[in-house]
Every structure is written in structure tokens, then in C-alpha cells.
Chain A
Amino acid sequence: MAVAYSGGVIMGADSRVSTGTYVANRVSDKVTAIHDKIYLCRSGSAADTQAVSDYVRHYLGAHAIECGRPPLVKTAANLCKRICYANKDRLLASVIVAGVDPYEGGSVYVIPLGGTCAKVPFAIGGSGSTYIYGHVDHVYRPDMTKAECVDFVKTAVERAMARDGSSGGIIRLVDISAEGVQRDFVVVN
């Protein structure tokens, strides 16, 4: 999931990758960088989402060089959407694009299975998300501070991991702001 706060975004994800009932990786990283300050929360097929993020990273890098300035989060989301929509019959990929740019500050875009692209204040995705819609809608307030956002993400992912069999492991947290990117993780018992 990802939440925007004034001046940045907090992104979070569990770390479980499973092949059927077998946990293939219990400490994977599903929050992937596609540019200096734009990241992707991946859910769905690991292979598909990795391929999509590799393409987007490539195009976004080339675009940043052509423009000679940091790319917009909107642009990253649009590139992602184009790939997801054009190949919707072949992909199982739903992603959340979030990050900061010097023009619009922190922003979050959600791209679910069909290839829609929407700007949202916060987003949840993946198998565990269905369990926590009620929780996040209840807890979320606009204009939360950065600390409140970290707490919001942490507890929401923790709840999802507790209920969902396909989620688990540790919570990976990424804080992106104009100052830089900070990673953290939480071990849940």
C-alpha cells in the first residue's frame, strides 16, 4: 500500500512470495525503485510485475535524460498504465506507483488489473487488501502527518498479514520525500 502526506509518500508491503501453497521467498522486496524518487508496489504475478517495472524503469530513465529533469510521478504511472492496458489479456499485474517530483510533491497512483490509472490519496492492493478495506477507510484521514502515515501503513499491512494466508513475513517500509528515500522493515511476530 501507499499513502501520500504533505511533501512525500509512505509505501509499505509484506514480503511473502508463494508458488501455490509453498512460500518461495519469505523476505522478498515488493517495493521496487523505477527512478530516484519514484517507486512501485507490486502485486499479482511476480514475473509479470518485474517485467513491467523493468520496462517502465527503462523508459522513465530515457525520458528523464531527454527532458533533463526529474520525471513526474504522473508520467511513471502513465507509462505503467500503457503497458498494463495494452497487454491486459496476458498480464496478471496490479501495481501502485508512488513518489515525489519537484512539481506536484508526493503523489500516489493506482493501476489495478484492467489497466485503469487513477490518482488517489492512498491505495491498497494485492490479496491481503480485501481484508482491510473497512479498516483503512475507517482510520484514514486527509492531512495526516508523516509519523501518522507510517503508523497507518504499518498497522494496515500487519492486519492484512494476520488475516491473509498469502501474505506474511516482514513489513517493508519506504519513505520518499524531497530530502531522499529511507527504507525500513518491521518484524511481526
Chain B
Amino acid sequence: MASTGAGYDLSPTTFSNDGRIFQVEYATKAVENSGTTIGIRCSDGVVLGVEKLLTSKMLLKSSNRRVATLDAHCGLVLCGLAADGRQIVGRARDECSNYDEVYGDKIPPRVLAARLADYVHYFTIHGALRPFGTASMIAGYDPCTKTHELYAVEPSGVCLRYFGCALGKGRQSAKSEIEKLDLSTLTCKDALREIAKMIHTVHDESKDKPFALEMAWLTKDTGFEFALVPDDLVQEAEAWAKAKLEEDDDDDDDDDDAEMTPAPPTDAASPS
């Protein structure tokens, strides 16, 4: 423990000299290394999409779901450690049914997200516990105010409401793509395609493991009930995204051909 700060990363109950809690930051890292996860609040509902990385070719594509239904009117998508996420899903379902039992009505998404954040936060203030390596995005419909909302709960216990949100590996470019969309007029059907395109863009086929695109939504058309997006719609969105990307690629190639001679070696300095 020679340098300052060393040794302060063993427990979430100890601050470092400059006021950080390293265990929580490491947990956030687990989320940042996970498959890209996108949530968009559209004019007529909320759409969630996730790049579910498949560890083996023999895996059933529908196994190890990253989206979960919590109640008829809300659901979430996980980003980070899947096993930690199941704990969050279990707690979220308990909160939904408990609220209904006590107050006789569906839990407002804002309350659900806040309660879930309280739960996650608890794991950052006890020495015997490890923070969750999982962030979640909650899509919910409030039957009282007739509004649909999107929230994200981070491993630190922070809970924020979003119009559009991205987590995981490709979050930076996904966020800048979401910012280009007009979310006040975008419909869920269009958002499916946009999300598919974003995830296919950030996914590097040569480097990354193969993935399954998992999408769930909560729209006016489905009576604001949270559900997995039907397979044919996902496939249609993916086909559209791939075609669009290829189109863009071709355009780029044309530009390249016009102005370029053989590509100069970019990493000549690197030893091989």
C-alpha cells in the first residue's frame, strides 16, 4: 500500500482518499463490458433492445433471456452480469405484486424504479455485500396518468428517467444515434428498426461473439402490456437494418474508390 488510494478497493464501505468507492466503480465496469442495451421512449410506447452475446453456437437462442416481464404493465432489460440480474428481476416482481396487494392498484413505474434503486443501493453500503454488476432499464405504463416511462437503475443505486438510453459496450455510439432521432414523433415500429440498426452497427462481427437480438416493448397496439416483440417483427427489423448498413457501406466504398489509391499502412510501427 505504497501509493495513496491503494487498498481502498476491497470493500464498498470504505471511501478512497478522493471520495470514491472503487467497488461500485468496478461493478459499473461489469456493465460497460456487457452487450449493448438500448431503451427508447417513443410517442406510442417504450421499446427495449439488447445485444445478447451467445457464448456457444449450441445455445438455444431463446435461453438466458435478458428481458423480463415484471407485471402486465412493466418489464425490464438487463445489462451486465446475467446472474446478478436475476436477483433484481426477482425483487422487482415482488415489489409489483406487493404494491398491488397493499394498495390495490398497479405500481407506478416511477415508484417501481425508485424501490428497485433502493434495493440495489443497499448492496453498496454494507461490508458483507457485493454491489450488483448489473444495470437495468425499466419500461412501464402508468394506468392512472396514462403515460409510459423509461427508467435506468445503475449499480450505484442511481435511478434516472430517460427519453432514450444506452448501456453496455456500444453505449457511446448508440447514445449519439438516439440523439439524432425525433422521439416526440417516432413510433415503436420505427424504433424497432432503429434499435436493430444501432446494435448491428456497434457489433463487430470479426471480433465479437455471435449474438441474438432480443427486443421487448409496451405499446398502444398491445394495450400497453409488456411483451416480447414477435419474432417476425424482429427479423424484419434486422433485415431492414442489415440492408441499410450495406447500403451505407456501399456509399462509403464508392467514395473511397473515387479518391483513394492503395491504402497506406496504418500501423506500420507495430511489430508483427
In the complex where A72-B144, A103-B144 touch, is A78 in contact with B108 (Cβ < 8 A)? no
A74 within 8 A of B: yes
Query: A72: which of B105, B110, B111 is its contact (CB, 8 Å)?
Result: B105
A112 CA to B104 CA, complexed, in Å: 18
Number of residue pairs A-B, CB distance < 8 angstroms: 29
| Nearest-CB residue, chain A, relative to B108 | A67
Cβ contact within 8 Å between A75 and B105: yes
A103 contacts which chain B residues (CB < 8 A)? 144-145
A interface, size bucket: 10 to 19
A79 beta carbon closer than 8 Å to chain B: yes
Which residues 22-81 of A sit at the B interface, judged by CB distance below 8 A?
A: 63, 66-69, 72, 74-75, 77-79, 81
In angstroms, Cα B60 to Cα A180, docked, is 59
- Contact: A78 with B111, CB < 8 Å? no
A88 at interface (Cβ–Cβ under 8 A)?
no
Q: Mark B103-122, 1 if CB is under 8 A from A, else 0.
A: 11100101100100000000
Q: Is A163 an interface residue (CB 8 A)?
A: no
Cβ B103 vs Cβ A75 within 8 A: yes
Interface residues on B, range: 10 to 19
Contact B111 A82 (CB under 8 A): no
* Nearest residue, chain A, Cβ from B100: A78
Which of A68, A69, A78 has a CB less than 8 Å from the CB of B103? A78
Instruction: Say how far B74's CB is from chain A's closest CB, in angstroms.
Output: 15
Q: Which of A66, A67, A69, A78 contacts B104 (CB 8 A)?
A: A78
B102 within 8 A of A: yes
Q: Tell me the smallest distance from the CB of A16 to a CB of chain B, in Å.
A: 32
- Bound CA–CA A79/B105 (angstroms): 11
Contact partners of A81 in chain B: CB under 8 A: 104
Q: How far is the CB of A100 from chain B (nearest CB, A)?
A: 14
* New A-B contacts (8) at CB < 8 Å, excluding given A72-B103, A78-B102: A63-B103, A67-B108, A67-B110, A72-B104, A72-B144, A77-B104, A79-B104, A82-B102
Chosen A-B contacts, 24 in total, with CB atoms closer than 8 Å, are A63-B103, A66-B111, A66-B114, A67-B108, A67-B110, A67-B111, A68-B110, A69-B144, A72-B103, A72-B104, A72-B144, A74-B104, A75-B103, A75-B104, A75-B105, A77-B104, A78-B102, A78-B104, A79-B102, A79-B104, A81-B104, A82-B102, A103-B144, A103-B145
